[in-house]
């Protein structure tokens, strides 16, 4: 039996919770004890009473919660709570080790086993644990709603007594999970949607959603074995700039989602491109937290530059906490049940999922990619 603790998130603006009441009985069935910090689920519309009814125990003191926990479920990395984790305990949640080297050091000192949701391998049997894709789905959906709030036009084509209102034109940059959800949402609202991605393989997916795919001759492989986009050559970036510059004067909304895993987001929209856009146009930059796809993006802020509204979107899943928590909690629970299939089990670190997601263990960084990156930056 393990004592699983779910603390209240302490990062500013975070409203999600790592476990929802409906999943508590599934863990109790495997003889685990569930501890929930008082008010942990309140921002996601899950009061303490719902957890108690499901069989969990409410703990009012966070220090006591962490001290009793064998395993901690969290959303955000425990930047403010790392010293509270009991030595030798296990952490499951977002970790961002390359951005939090100090946190890694604390975990090493306290011999904490950390499973990072970002590092779950993108393989078929791990799809139900893929929190990055789940949260990207939420972000892609919300990005379109943000654009509708700021754009001074309606999205659909309308035939009215006062005349015809043309549809808004939306350009989505990057057709990953977030981009595809943005495309689908914009299409549902009646917009004319176009999409651009360096991976030609996503063309069929884009077209299946009813969007046009911006064609560009691609002669280099721009996709990793894991399905992520790779960094591009200078020649490719020049051609890409030409293609996008030709479209910018004709779009009302640009939603950018392009990221390179573990690295700064590529600049797709330069200041010169922003100047080409019509006054009142909107850019929603979903890569803002990682440097931004737009040269003028300010993370966490909405600014107006050259008459264009630029939204530096940060942590959009936290703006839809009910469904975001539902999806994330399911991902975390699925990973936990994979690692601990029964009450007496321990993780099989030879397993591809456990090996890929585990960052620290027994006072060492055991994920080779993270270890090499931290050593290369002299942060380990």
Active-site amino acid positions: 122, 127, 130, 133, 228
Tokens of 51: 């957890």
Q: Distance between CA atoms of 221 and 224, rounded to whole angstroms?
A: 8
Secondary structure of 205-269 as H, E, C letters: HHHHCCCEECCCCCCCCCECCCCCECCCCHHHHHHHHHHHHHHHHHCCEEEECCCCCCCCCCCCE
Tokens at residue 189, please?
């609202």
Dihedral through CA 241, CA 246, CA 247, CA 252, nearest 10? Answer: 100
| 8-state DSSP, 154 | -
342, containing H or E segment? none
Pairing of strands 282-285, 308-312: parallel
CB 308 within 8 A of CB 277: yes
Largest CA distance in the chain: 72
Q: Which phi and psi (to 5°) does residue 125 adopt?
A: -75, -5
Residue in 62, 67, 73 with CA at minimum distance from that of residue 39: 62
Task: Determine phi and psi for 172, rounding to 5 degrees.
Answer: -105, 125
Name the 3-class secondary structure at 176. Answer: coil
- Provide the CB-side half-sphere exposure for 229 (13 A, CA): 24
């Amino acid at each position: 039996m393990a004592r699983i603790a779910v603390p209240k998130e302490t990062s500013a603006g975070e409203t999600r919770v790592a476990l929802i009441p409906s999943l508590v009985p599934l863990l109790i069935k495997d003889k685990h004890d569930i501890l929930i910090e008082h008010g942990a689920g309140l921002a996601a519309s899950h009061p303490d009473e719902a957890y108690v009814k499901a069989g969990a125990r409410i703990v009012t003191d966070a220090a006591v919660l962490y001290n009793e926990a064998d395993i901690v479920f969290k959303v955000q990395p425990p930047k403010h709570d790392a010293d509270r984790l009991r030595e030798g305990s296990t952490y499951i949640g977002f970790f961002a080790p390359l951005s939090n080297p100090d946190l890694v050091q604390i975990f090493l000192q306290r011999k904490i086993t950390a499973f990072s949701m970002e590092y779950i391998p993108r393989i078929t049997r791990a799809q139900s644990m893929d929190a990055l894709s789940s949260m990207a789905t939420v972000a892609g959906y919300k990005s379109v709603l943000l654009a509708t709030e700021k754009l001074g036009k309606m999205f659909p084509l309308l035939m009215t007594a006062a005349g015809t209102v043309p549809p808004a034109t939306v350009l989505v940059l990057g057709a990953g999970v977030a981009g595809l959800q943005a495309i689908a949402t914009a299409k549902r609202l009646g917009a004319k949607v176009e999409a651009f991605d360096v991976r030609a393989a996503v063309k069929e997916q884009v077209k299946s959603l009813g969007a046009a795919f911006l064609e560009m001759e691609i002669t280099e492989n721009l996709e990793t074995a894991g399905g992520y986009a790779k960094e591009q050559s200078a020649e490719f970036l020049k051609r890409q700039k030409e293609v996008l510059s030709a479209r910018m004067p004709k779009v009302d909304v640009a939603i950018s989602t392009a990221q390179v895993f573990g690295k700064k987001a590529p600049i797709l929209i330069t200041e010169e491109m922003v100047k080409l856009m019509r006054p009142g146009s909107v850019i929603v930059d979903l890569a803002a937290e990682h440097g931004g796809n737009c040269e003028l993006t300010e993370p966490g802020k909405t600014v107006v530059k050259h008459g264009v509204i630029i939204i530096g979107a940060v942590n959009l899943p936290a703006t839809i906490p009910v469904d975001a928590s539902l999806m994330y909690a399911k991902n975390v629970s699925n990973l936990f049940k994979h690692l601990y299939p029964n009450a007496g089990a321990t993780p099989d670190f030879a397993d591809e999922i456990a090996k890929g997601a585990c960052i620290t263990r027994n006072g060492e960084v055991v994920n080779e990619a993270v270890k090499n990156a931290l050593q290369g930056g002299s942060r380990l």
